A = this chain, B = another copy of it.
């Protein structure tokens, strides 16, 4: 156990500051007096958006460089992109805990419902998510993964995005039998409560889930 409260770096691997701001707001409830400091960073070298496998793979090298720079000060890392880019490379690079929001979002969902559904943002991400779910060995618990699938520009429209997420959430619940949902994105925590109220089943905000697990790891020292 660290004597100093410790620092968790929550890294947004895309270069969009607005997303990092959203992440920062999301983790605010996890800033505990006496607890680890949570610092949200933007990976400047990252693309504005992480949509494709190319994007995912492309952030790894700069991410590892950043981790190299931070490691002396870090007690844990959260990679805040739903494709968990660089998660395993990062785990080789540092002895500090590294958590990915997809992995932790799903693991947390498993404590909230029998079958989880993922609300993805981009249709093109779905096969990638399914590969990761297969790699995690939890496919049996996955009800489905459906994309909001609206143009990126429209994501700026909170109401439109929210509506569509609710729609997808209901489809996952009704057509696929989901008992819990995982928001397949970072920095959109402001939608969580409404989603849960409208759809009526638990909704996991994955950056919050991962950061929560990181706090435990820092406090426990393993």
Q: Which residues of A contact B (CB under 8 A)?
A: 1, 29-30, 32-35, 52-54, 56-58, 60-61, 64, 86, 88-89, 91-93, 97, 99, 103-104, 107-108, 110-111, 113-115, 124, 126-128, 130-132, 134-141, 144, 177, 179, 192, 196, 202-205, 208-209, 211-213, 215-217, 219-222
- CB pairs A–B below 8 angstroms (6 shown): A30-B219, A52-B92, A54-B92, A57-B89, A135-B135, A208-B216
Closest 4 pairs between A and B when the two form their complex, measured CB to CB? A212-B216, A33-B34, A137-B140, A57-B60
Closest to A128 in B: B88
Distance in angstroms from A77 CB to nearest chain B CB is: 12
Which residues of B sit under 8 angstroms from A124, Cβ to Cβ? 92
Q: A57, B54: Cβ atoms under 8 Å?
A: no
Are A179 and B127 closer than 8 Å at their CB atoms?
yes
